[in-house]
Amino acid sequence: MKDIDLCKSALGVHPPWSVEKVRVDAKGRRVDVWLGQQSNSGLLRAASKAFSQQNWISWRHLNMFQHHVFIHAHRNDDIQQKNVQWLGQPGLNLTRAMAKQVVKMLSEGTSYSAVCSLLELQLSDIWPIKRALDEGRLTLGGKKVEVKNSKAGSPTPLLHAQADDGLPTIDDQVWEKIAAGVLDVHIKPLALKLLIAKIRGQLVNIDEKEGRQVKLNEVRRYFVKHRQKLSGEIQHLKAIA
């Protein structure tokens, strides 16, 4: 019971949701948490459900006490609640809270390998999130994560690093302008034109700021990688920044 109460408090589980079962593997640094919702009669439906793998959807959640946390919810429960951060979307393998952390780090310019290392994830955990983001299917819900503007003080170390390459940081509105076509007439490389066209199409389906920054950062990385050949484009970029 103590494990159930601790997980309920740590996750912020409130009715109609309830923690049904907790399994702690101290040696493997893993915690599995099963959650269910109450029926109208007040009896927990999950209490009578078999904890079989085929009846449950699982997601990796944020680490807790240096343990990897896995959330399990029954397929018949309402798992579409966008404001519940310890749930994930069907077809994805991270909870909204973990997905939001991944997207935030990517939007700040963190590499995929660094994200995996820092959050103790596998690359295979991140690719479905990237694909859902590309296709406009990712809904993080809850309060949006804001990335600080380095021009307004207190920038993160990642934004410091971005400023060192001589280009506007990823949270600068110039990248939105480029995606909108402001710089089209000055862009010569076909590969860059095609990249911007692809990102422009993907941004149509992405509303959340951190999600848009992940896609815009693909354009920024192209400028960083090819800045020697894009001197003219960079001059115009800085002029409209």
> Is 78 part of any domain?
yes
Asked whether the beta carbons of 171 and 217 are under 8 A apart, the reply is no
Domain boundary (87, 107, 126) is at 87
Cis geometry, peptide bond prior to residue 16 (ω within 30 degrees of 0): yes
> Is 17 part of any domain?
yes
Q: Domain residues for 194?
A: 150-240
Q: What is the pLDDT of residues 169-216, one digit of tens each?
A: 887 888 988 888 888 877 888 888 888 988 888 888 787 777 788 888
**How large is the average pLDDT for residues 36-44?**
59
Among 3, 79, 82, residue whose Cα is nearest residue 36: 79
Percent of the chain predicted with pLDDT > 90: 11
- What pLDDT was estimated at residue 69? 94
Structure tokens at 44: 């927990």
**Number of structural domains the chain divides into:** 2
Rounded to whole angstroms, how far apart are CA atoms 166 and 62? 34
> Is 120 part of any domain?
no
Three-class DSSP category at 205: coil
Length of the chain: 241
Average pLDDT, the chain: 78
Q: Are residues 83 and 154 in the same domain?
A: no
> Is 114 part of any domain?
no
Residue 229 has pLDDT above 90, yes or no: no
> Is 71 part of any domain?
yes
Backbone angles phi, psi at 176, to 5 degrees: -65, -35
> Is 231 part of any domain?
yes
Q: Are residues 79 and 157 in the same domain?
A: no
Q: Are residues 2 and 83 in the same domain?
A: yes
Three-class DSSP category at 20: strand
Q: What is the pLDDT of residues 61-103, one digit of tens each?
A: 999 888 999 999 887 766 667 778 888 888 888 999 999 899 8
Q: What is the pLDDT of residues 46-60, one digit of tens each?
A: 444 555 555 788 999
Residue 159 has pLDDT above 80, yes or no: no
Q: Are residues 156 and 81 in the same domain?
A: no
> Is 2 part of any domain?
yes
Rg of the chain over CA atoms, in angstroms? 21
Q: In which residue are the tokens 């919702």 written?
A: 37
Among 153, 241, 173, 240, residue whose Cα is nearest residue 213: 173
**How large is the average pLDDT for residues 222-237?**
85
Domain boundary (48, 63, 87) is at 87
DSSP 94: B
Structure tokens at 134: 């590309």
Query: pTM for the full model?
Result: 0.62
**How large is the average pLDDT for residues 17-24?**
89
Residue 231 has pLDDT above 90, yes or no: no
Rounded to whole angstroms, how far apart are CA atoms 230 and 236? 10
Domain boundary (87, 114, 140) is at 87
